[in-house]
């Protein structure tokens, strides 16, 4: 139990750092592409914007702890992570103005949601590839060590 609590806290802090880092990278990207005007609404309510980035980071990055639990199937882990991540990101993005929302333009709203899902999947897939390559590297090193001791 104590190990699980430490793991949860670790993943929450991973999520916060991921959310803050992503927030800064996005602000820099839009600043470089669009100039100062993009940052004015963010600076006007910087505390709310920053807290929103941390909450989304916890929802997307922190919930990746689900991959540590062996009892769940791989598909269920992905669905839990995806649903919590998108369930927090999309409403938060609309609330904070990161995602434009026009209730009278349902097609636009659906396309925005699908775009957000696609971005989430791309980010998830990049992390998947990174961790898969890390596992291969570690396994290769373990085999080398095993051969050295044989």
Please state at what angle helix 2-34 crosses helix 46-60, rounded to 10 degrees: 130
Structure tokens at 52: 């929103």
Q: In the chain, how many H helices and how many E strands?
A: 5, 0
Rounded percentage of the chain residues whose pLDDT exceeds 70: 99
Query: What mean pLDDT comes out for the span 140-147?
Result: 89
pLDDT digits (tens, 9 = 90+) for 13-28: 999 999 999 999 988 9
Structure-block tokens of residue 138: 């570690």
**pLDDT at position 1 over 80:** no
Tens of pLDDT, residues 71-104: 989 889 989 998 999 899 989 998 998 888 888 8
Alpha-carbon distance values, 75 to 68, 70, 87 (Å): 14, 12, 17
Tell whether pTM > 0.85. no
| Rounded Cα gap, residues 119 and 125, in angstroms | 10
Of the candidates 98, 126, 95, the residue with the CA atom closest to the CA atom of residue 112? 98
DSSP code at position 98:
S
Question: 61-78 pLDDT, tens per residue?
Answer: 888 889 888 898 988 998
């Amino acid at each position: 139990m104590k190990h699980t609590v430490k793991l949860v806290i670790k993943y929450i802090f991973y999520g916060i750092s991921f959310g803050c880092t992503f927030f800064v990278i996005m602000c820099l990207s839009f600043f470089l592409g669009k100039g100062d005007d993009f940052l004015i609404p963010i600076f006007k309510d910087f505390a709310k914007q920053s807290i929103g980035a941390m909450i989304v980071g916890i929802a997307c990055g922190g919930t990746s702890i689900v991959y540590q639990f062996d009892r769940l199937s791989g598909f269920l882990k992905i669905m839990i992570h995806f649903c919590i991540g998108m369930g927090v990101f999309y409403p938060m993005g609309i609330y904070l103005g990161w995602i434009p929302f026009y209730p009278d333009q349902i097609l636009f709203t659906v396309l925005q949601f699908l775009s957000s899902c696609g971005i989430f999947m791309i980010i998830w897939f990049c992390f998947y590839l990174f961790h898969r390559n890390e596992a291969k590297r570690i396994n290769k090193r373990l085999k080398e060590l095993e051969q050295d001791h044989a």
